Amino acid sequence: MAHPTLRDLDQRTVAVEMQIGSRQTVVQGLARYDAAEGSAPALHICVNDGAGNFEIRLEESLFRGTVDSGKKFGCDFHIDLGRSLVTK
């Protein structure tokens, strides 16, 4: 699969890499793609973390990150959000 879409990540393990402030971090979770009528299609990544569970929601029409193999993170896929969380 050359360029996976967010839909391709449904029910797969995903590592999400992002920069928050000056800190680079990676979290891992199970993805669920939701294209329910009445809401924008989005990928939800449920993260179970010792500090507290949370969910990352990536709306398909607004997604600007990259998706590739998550092998180096022990996951099916890797999403790199880069600095896309830091917007003005």
Chain segment 9-19, per-residue pLDDT in tens: 999 999 999 88
Token pair 């971090």 is at which residue?
Answer: 25
CB 54 within 8 A of CB 47: yes
Q: What is the pTM of this model?
A: 0.84
Instruction: Output the pLDDT for position 72.
Output: 96
Q: Is residue 51 over pLDDT 50?
A: yes
Instruction: Output the pLDDT for position 44.
Output: 97
CB 15 within 8 A of CB 77: yes
Q: What's at 5, amino acid-wise?
A: T
